[in-house]
Amino acid sequence: MRKAPALLAVVLVATAALAAQSEEARRSTLLPERLTRVDQVLQQYVDENRIAGAVALVLQDGRPVYERAVGWRDKEAGARMTADTIFRIASQTKAITSTAVLMLVEEGKLGLNDPVSRFLPSFARTTVAVRGEPGSGPLIGSGVTFLPAKRPITIRDLLTHTAGISYGTQTDVAALYEANGLGPAAGLGWYTADKNEPICDTMERLGTLPFVAQPGEAFVYGYNTDILGCVVERASATPLDEFIRTRITGPLGMRDTHFFLPAGERARLAAVYGSGGDGRIVRAPQGSKGQGDYVEGPRRSFAGGAGLLSTARDYARFLEMIRNGGALGGLRLLSPRTVQLMTTNQVGTLHSPNGLGFGLGFQTTDRYGANGLDGVGAFGWGGAYGTMYRVDPQARLTILLMTQLVPNATDIREKFPTLVYQALVEPAH
């Protein structure tokens, strides 16, 4: 008789588990049999040596509905890709730094229309490189002159990439940037992990160089969010790595998101590959255009634009916080109104005339068909090492693909979200 209560408890637990699984299956609108196509394509790319490996993760309503690790974390070492592999996420750092900025806006420590020179004095009188107009003197032999900026650059300009600030690789400015350790001297322009100086020192030097468009007149992708990283440091009186760790990644439980690899985690870091001339992967070199200095570098430059390492599961927690209007698991980082501002087009047609916009840190989909099968209101971005993400509030989806491929001659980042969406059906009514 004593066994009866215990048996009943086991039956009740099993029944509850089955009910939970049934509820999850009912809520999911991604057909498992169609998601197998994702498996097939990812494995095909590995088998054809077009990528070394990848981690793919899809959440719906915050629940994992698809997670796969395929191929190799380090092919030469015989190390298989695993779900907890750590990746260099490059420009996916921008969304996290932008979140830090908006947190400080909500606290009244800075304003969107504040001039950047409030925090970086070298930005008080910026210039723009132009051709064929009288200015402060040509670059030798180039016919380029420097004109004063028409107005001060603001925090909003940096968040929307409309400050006119590039990565300094354009012909008109490349020589000056290279002489100052930026542009061609910084890997592919955005890389600072090898610098033995704080990011604010680098960005103050940037403020003395000419930019490539007038503030507010063009969408120019570049050092904008690296400058914002310095703004965060000075507005909060806290180093950027500490601010992000204590205010964002730590509270969200993102244990594997760092600017430099923690001791003992080297085996989990994916190797970087590149697309060769025949489209097959080749192992990338050491240094700024390949493996980088994230393991044994100086660990002094915390680049808010392209510096973080993370895992698919970690970054998904950050994206879920944004999808949920600034909160996750009872923790609120931002207000719903602020998140709406971040994920709504703020630049009109400057980013694209064809239905894509840009908010305060995210690319936005404003017209169905403008970005594959994205729903209107979806937002996302990616990183130079081959990572990408999308959040589609309409479909309740968070989609991530992590790989390490630079240069990347594949179309896998475009195919992957399409393969996810083709498995999506309307919920039953």
pLDDT in tens, 75-108: 999 999 999 999 999 999 999 999 999 999 999 9
Other CB atoms within a 10 A radius of the CB of residue 280 amount to 13
Handedness of CA 27, 33, 34, 39 (dihedral sign): positive
For 234-254, the pLDDT digits (tens) are: 999 999 999 999 999 999 999
What is the DSSP annotation of 96-116? HHHHHHHHHHHTTS--TTSBG
CATH of 95-242, one of 2.60.40.420, 3.40.1190.20, 3.40.710.10, 3.40.190.10: 3.40.710.10
Q: Please tell me the predicted confidence (pLDDT) of residue 160.
A: 98
Q: What is the pTM of this model?
A: 0.91
Q: Which fold has domain 30-86+261-421?
A: Beta-lactamase (3.40.710)
pLDDT in the model for residue 27: 61
Which among 91, 166, 301, 352 is annotated as catalytic?
91
Per residue in 249-299, pLDDT (tens digit) is 999 999 999 999 999 999 999 999 999 999 999 999 999 999 999 999 999
Burial 17-30 (b: 16+ CB within 10 A, else e): eeeeeeeeeeebbb
Position 122 scores a pLDDT of 98
Distance CA 305, CA 126 (A): 20
Encode pLDDT of 120-148 as tens digits. 999 999 999 998 766 555 555 568 999 99
Domain ranges in the chain are: 30-86+261-421, 95-242
- Gap between the Cα atoms of 23 and 131, Å rounded: 63
pLDDT of residue 230: 98
The question of whether 91 is a catalytic residue gets the answer yes
Q: Supply the mean pLDDT for the chain.
A: 93
Residue 396 above 90 pLDDT? yes
% the chain with pLDDT above 70:
90
Mean pLDDT across 28-53: 96
Distance CA 234, CA 228 (A): 10
Query: What's the sign of the alpha-carbon dihedral 155, 192, 306, 215?
Result: positive
- Model pLDDT, residue 18: 42
